[in-house]
Every structure is written in C-alpha cells, then in structure tokens.
Structure 1
C-alpha cells in the first residue's frame, strides 16, 4: 500500500480497571456472549488485522489469552496507553480503536466509519450524541495522530478526546445510540432491559 493509504488495523481496548463496574467489563455477557468477544468479531470484519489491547497483568486472562494482543508499553493512563503502544508496534498503520463496552454497536456503524475514513486527516470519528464532542473510542487514528498523542502524553495530558479536538479530525454525525457505553452495575441492568425490549 502507498504511504497515502496506510493499512487499517483494529485495536480493541480491554485494559481498563473497570473500577465503577466492580468487575471486568470485558467479560460482561449480553445476549449470552462476553462483550469483548462480540466486539472482537465486529473489529475483525472491519479491519485488515485486529489486536486486543491489554495491560501486562491481563495477558494470561482466559478471555484475552486466545486473541492477538498488544501489551501496554506506557504507564497505565487509560486508553491513550493502548493507542500509543499500538502505534509504536505498527507505526505504518492506521488504527480503528474500539472500546469493548459498547453493547449496542453493530457492524453497520463500523462500516459507516470505515467508509468515511479520510487518510488525509489525523483521525475520523463520530460526534457524541450526548455532548457533541468527538468520540475517541470508536474512531480511526491515522499514523499522523501519533506525534500529538505522544507530545500530550509526555506533557501529562492523557485525554484522547482532547487530542481529537486539537487534531485534524473528520467528524461524522452521531450514530444514534450505538456508542452508548456501560460503566456501572446500574447502567448494565438498564442496558440489559433495553436489549431485551429490542429483541
């Protein structure tokens, strides 16, 4: 591929501590399947090759051990550690970065993101339906985004959303409720009820 069209790899973020949920969010099952595995299947279809982002102490976890991994090589500072680690390992690639806790996400939403990808920008992302800001955890980060992410990391700024705001980011309209995530036991109960009513 030419330098103007970097290959698109997938990075499934699963390294969070899940403190508010009080259990591993990646292992939570919706409709009988751990959400990490469901998100993994979606990401595999949408990208040329995909990896799960993990912390070092998660490598042997049974849910993650069977999947290709990229281990965080930066201090655990949230999603930016996973993104930077992936960019370091395959600097020529663009990364479709995906959080593992998006139970309503479907293949059509990822296809919309990939189809709208602008390789001339630093990133392509959806707008949040909640605050109108970029959604960094279902977004395509081009190789050119690495310099700003690293600069911000070195300065102690770990928010990937703010990096998107400061970058040349193509923003797409919010895809309905597809990017609603689940962070607490109460939100999980509410999400399960929503999904049952949709079935």
Structure 2
C-alpha cells in the first residue's frame, strides 16, 4: 500500500447541477487537468479506494467506481449518503469536485483525526467545511433519517453523531490552509482562478470614477458590518507610485540595492518594491486571515463581484460582475439592486445577505 492510509475510501462528490456555471464544472480545465481529475488525483495519492458520486455515464473510468445518488436531486448530503453506502471501508473522506487545491496530505491528516469519533470536520475562519471532511459509516443512519425527513443541509446530521471539529490550531504548520477550501461555482470564479486571484473569504469590489463617493461608502459599509458582528478588511488601490520616507532604514536598504523591503511590527506592515506592484492575489492572501470579508476599492478590471458607484446619478455601464449600483437616480437601472449614495447600511445588508449569510447557510 506504500503511503496509503488503509481502510479509508476517498469519495468525490460530482452530482451537482452546476447551475451558476452553466456547464459541468467537474470538467473545467485548470492548468491542464480538469477539476475532477485534480480532486481524484489528490485523494488517490493517500487512499486505497476512490469513488465518484455522480452520473455513471459521464464519469465512467475516472475513478475505481462511479455510483449514483440514492436520493437524487437534493444536494451534497445525498452524495455523502451514497459515498457511505457504497464505500468498501468504514471510514470515508469526502471532497467536493470543485476544490482546485485539494491536498491529499491534508485529507489524510483530517481522516486520522476521526479516531474515536464518527466524523472529523474542519471549521476554519469560523466556517464549517463539511465537504472536505471524514465520516464513518456510523453516520449513515443519521444521514438517511435527515434525507427521509427532507432536511437537506449538509450539517443537519452532525448534532446526532460524535464530531471532532478541527480549527486553525489543529492545522498549525499547514501552509495555505484556507486555499484548500476555495471552491469554483461561477464563471467569475474561473477567471479569478486563472488569474490567481482568490481568497478564502468573500471579496467584493467597489468601483467608480474619482470623487464619486467610494471611500465614504466603504467607511459606512465597514461600520455597519462591524456593528453586525462581521470583520472586514479593506484594500485600496492607487495608480500613484508609493514611495518610502527618504532616510528611513527601509529606504536606505532599497537605495543600497534591495529590490523589496518590509517593516513589520505592532500595528501592521509596510512593504515596498522597486518595480511593478504586488499582485492582487498576493495582497488578498495577506488580508484574508482573521476577517469575514474583504472590500476592495479600485482594481476595476479585476474579475470580482462589483458594486458600482456613479457620479451625480449618471448611468454607468454594467456587466456580469455588477451585483449592485449606488446612484442618486435609481430609475435608470433595471435588473440590478440600486442604493442611494447615503444608504451605506442598505449596502451592508445587501453584502451580508448575498455574500456572508449565503456562506454561513451554504451547508
């Protein structure tokens, strides 16, 4: 068996409808491999059996076995049920097919933590991750009862079994932990993946012309989010070159030939580089820890969901990235949520409903 963990079955869930993607996301290409292939390969590296739960005709030959849902059309809980039913081993490790950064070593680490429990489920950044988790066949009865009762949320059965919840403290030393839970649901997610712009928390852009009121809006939104108990990070982009203070140690290092410098200490981090600018994805990775959402002012060409702020109520062009508009004249927009410039609390409520509560209720 080599480095395999014996008596564990890897289960890949590929039964979703991909309605937001408008095509089967399991077959989306990522660096020369489909999403499904990436997940299967990651699990095959550590588990002796890997099965796919999905359409047997579409996925035939891509794993040791392909099985269909016994409770079709009701979501990933049915996939877990089928995986537990058909797995050869008592312990299964479940992974959704839309996770491009599946790490087999991390999967086996989580599975090992199920010793003495019915399930081992990560809870990272305050978010449950039941679609990258380990379950024993002792969960099958509770899962079946939930499905028969029409309780289709993935977490519905967890209160009936012994669960070991794994937090950041349990994963100390694992690099890029949150990246493993980045999932692909929309064409915009694919573009972000291709451009390496991804984060483990929702990212929402606020764009518009200069002096349109973007900063004032973000101030109000950040305050409203904080009042509602959410932790926001804010990233502002500028086209003006950032320069260090002449004579400071970090400036002297650059003048001496260093290409990058950083000053870290209580309260934060200052970073400078001699050429270009930091990649958006790298900055998001720096900000994502310890927050619930990242608001981005600027980066108007980035493939992010955008709230567009207009100037003097003038109509602005919208595209598939536009999720809401802030305008003094809501009559000129159809098919998109419009807020007045002084309704920061309304914008915050919209963000909570569409990006934060949606994440919280996903499972």
Q: TM-score range by the shorter chain?
A: 0.7 to 0.9
Q: Considering only aligned residues, what root-mean-square deviation do their CA atoms show, in Å?
A: 2.2
Partner of 2:37: 37
User: Which TM-score applies when normalising by structure 1?
Assistant: 0.83
The number of aligned residues is 185
Larger radius of gyration: 2
3-state secondary structure, aligned to 2:53: strand
Q: Tell which deviates more after alignment, 78-87 or 105-114.
A: 105-114
For residues 15-94 of structure 1, the aligned pairs below 5 Å read: 15-54=15-54, 58-61=55-58, 64-67=59-62, 68-90=65-87, 93-94=90-91
Q: In the aligned structure 1, how far is the partner of 2:149 from the partner of 2:35?
A: 34
Once the 2 structures are TM-superposed, how far is the Cα of residue 195 of structure 1 from its aligned partner? 7.0
Aligned partners of 2:42 and 2:103 also within 8 Å: yes
Once the 2 structures are TM-superposed, how far is the Cα of residue 178 of structure 1 from its aligned partner? 1.2
1:172 aligns with 2:169: no
3-state secondary structure, aligned to 2:195: helix
Q: In the aligned structure 1, how far is the partner of 2:53 from the partner of 2:14?
A: 6
Q: Tell which deviates more after alignment, 174-183 or 89-98.
A: 89-98
Runs of at least 4 residues of structure 1 off by over 6 A?
195-198
Partner of 1:150: 144
Residue of structure 2 aligned with 1:191, choices 190, 193, 205: 193
* Change over 3 Å in CA distance of 1:46–1:92 after alignment to 2: closer
For residues 117-128 of structure 1, the aligned pairs below 5 Å read: 117-118=114-115, 120-128=116-124
Once the 2 structures are TM-superposed, how far is the Cα of residue 166 of structure 1 from its aligned partner? 4.7
Once the 2 structures are TM-superposed, how far is the Cα of residue 111 of structure 1 from its aligned partner? 3.0
Q: In the aligned structure 2, how far is the partner of 1:181 from the partner of 1:34?
A: 14
Once the 2 structures are TM-superposed, how far is the Cα of residue 49 of structure 1 from its aligned partner? 0.6
* Change over 3 Å in CA distance of 1:91–1:48 after alignment to 2: closer
Q: Tell which deviates more after alignment, 173-182 or 187-196.
A: 187-196
Aligned partners of 2:8 and 2:89 also within 8 Å: no
